[in-house]
Amino acid sequence: MASVLVRSLAGLAAAAVIGGAFYVAFGETPVLVDLATVTTAPLQVTVEDDGVTRIRNVYAISSPIAGHLDRITYSVGDRIGEGESIARIHPLDPPFLDTRTRTELMASIDAARSSIAVAEVELTRARTARDLASASHARAEKLAATNIVPASELERLLGEVELAQAQVKSAEAMIALRRAELASAQARLTQPGQTPISVANGECCIDIVSPINGIILSLNAKSEQPATVGQLIAEVGDPADLEITVDVLSADAVRVRPGSRALITGWGGTETLEATVERIEPSAFTKVSALGISEQRVNAVIALAEPPPAELGHGFRVIVNLITWSSDGVLQVPVSALYRDGGDWAVFRMEDGKARVTRVEIGHMTDRRAEILSGLKDGDRVILYPGDSLEDGSLIEDRAAAE
């Protein structure tokens, strides 16, 4: 009897071992998955793009006249005060004279000298005539006192004196005119490199001054050179008056409003800079992306909330995050937990160690998080990156717990 009982127990044990082996071999093994918890937290929807800093008011300084620009002692980045001279322009050097022109000018000089000599002779004659007329008038005045010379004769002699004096002044003016003609002819003989006295005294040059207190942003003419009217010489601006421009897709621009909050990152510093949208330009432009796709983009101008850091300058690259929507408390899940189930959004929710398909309604979405309007509650656990092997009711196990 005892042997029969032993054989029965041995058979049951063998059957249990065989059944366990079959269960291990053919039973369902839990799928290791990554899990995330549904939480209520702040959420911001942003439009992110590269932006460029720029000084709000850049003053272009150009040459008001054609002339010769002296070498500029300033360098890019130097500070300059309002009214300080950036550059000095003096007249261009005269052109070289060919043989014919030089001969003509020499002849003009000789003619001017001869004209001066003739005018001096005429002046001598006029002075002599004036002296004679004055003497005749003086004698007539003495005779008129004794009624020997009538009053009419005295008046005639006085007129001759005045006429002679006018002729003297005319002769003197003619000499001055001829001397001016001589100086003009001599000046036209000036060759390049012969500096006139007025230039040496600094009386001929024009100083180009800075209109504001700021720094020099660019120098288009550093060395000494000829300058034309309107030629750009330098650009100056105030580095404290900084703004940011960012071009965004026109579809994103319609969701951005003036006054919207913006965050500036990627400028080289560790802190995030607060800013606001100042304006959205009314017209778009076409820009070809790196993939060769034509896009319609719109410029948005961003104003910093605080004075910019000293390290941030004109033309620096930054990353602009334009906040189009935000909330302090939103039920949300990672975007990597969502997938399409027909025309709806769905997630795999963990329930009693199994994956359960749960359809959800989503609201606002970023590239990482999505707002859940219905279908889940705070504290639910969902599967990240669900694979094709998962289905409703599949056994699952948290990968982090298994490790």
pLDDT at 346: 95
What token pair was written down for 349?
């929710």
As its CATH architecture, domain 58-93+199-237 has: Beta Barrel (2.40)
Bridge partners, residue 67, by sequence: 227
Q: In this model, does residue 4 exceed pLDDT 70?
A: no
Please report, rounded to a whole number, the percentage of residues in the chain having pLDDT higher than 70.
89
Residues, the chain: 403
Q: Report the C-alpha gap between 362 and 356 in whole angstroms.
A: 18
pLDDT at 260: 92
pLDDT at 40: 95
Q: What confidence tens digit (pLDDT) does each residue in 28-41 have?
A: 688 889 999 999 99
Q: In this model, does residue 55 exceed pLDDT 90?
A: yes
Q: What confidence tens digit (pLDDT) does each residue in 227-251 have?
A: 999 999 999 999 999 999 999 999 9
pLDDT at 25: 44
Q: In this model, does residue 49 exceed pLDDT 90?
A: yes
Q: In this model, does residue 360 exceed pLDDT 90?
A: yes
Q: How many CA atoms lie within 13 A of 282 on its CB side?
A: 0
pLDDT at 195: 58
Q: In this model, does residue 5 exceed pLDDT 60?
A: no
pLDDT at 26: 47
3-state SS string over 289-317? Answer: CCCCCEEEEEEEEEEECCCCCCCCCCCCE
What token pair was written down for 285?
């432009």
Q: Confidence band (pLDDT; 50, 70, 90) for 365?
A: very high
Q: In this model, does residue 163 exceed pLDDT 70?
A: yes
pLDDT at 21: 45
Q: What is the mean pLDDT of residues 343-367?
A: 93
Question: Domain spanning 28-56+240-403 has what CATH number?
Answer: 2.40.30.170
**DSSP state at residue 96:** P
Q: Count Cβ neighbours within 10 Å for each residue of 11-43 and write b for 16 or more, e otherwise.
A: eeeeeeeeeeeeeeeeeeeebebebeebeeeeb
| Residue with the larger pLDDT of the pair 53 and 133 | 53
Lowest-confidence region among 69-78, 158-167, 187-196: 187-196
Helix (H, G, I), strand (E, B) or coil at 2: helix
Q: What is the mean pLDDT of residues 267-285?
A: 93
Q: Report the C-alpha gap between 368 and 384 in whole angstroms.
A: 12
What token pair was written down for 226?
């000829």
Q: Confidence band (pLDDT; 50, 70, 90) for 185?
A: confident
pLDDT at 22: 47
Q: What confidence tens digit (pLDDT) does each residue in 380-395 have?
A: 999 999 988 888 989 9
Bridge partners, residue 300, by sequence: 246, 280
In sequence order, what E strands does 135-255 have? 206-209, 214-219, 225-227, 232-237, 242-249
Q: In this model, does residue 140 exceed pLDDT 90?
A: no
Q: What is the mean pLDDT of residues 241-270?
A: 93
Residue type, 283: S
Domain definitions of the chain by residue range: 28-56+240-403, 58-93+199-237, 99-192
Q: In this model, does residue 300 exceed pLDDT 70?
A: yes
Alpha helices in 188-309 (DSSP H): 197-200, 250-253
Q: In this model, does residue 201 exceed pLDDT 50?
A: no
Q: In this model, does residue 62 exceed pLDDT 80?
A: yes
pLDDT at 9: 54
What token pair was written down for 67?
């002339």
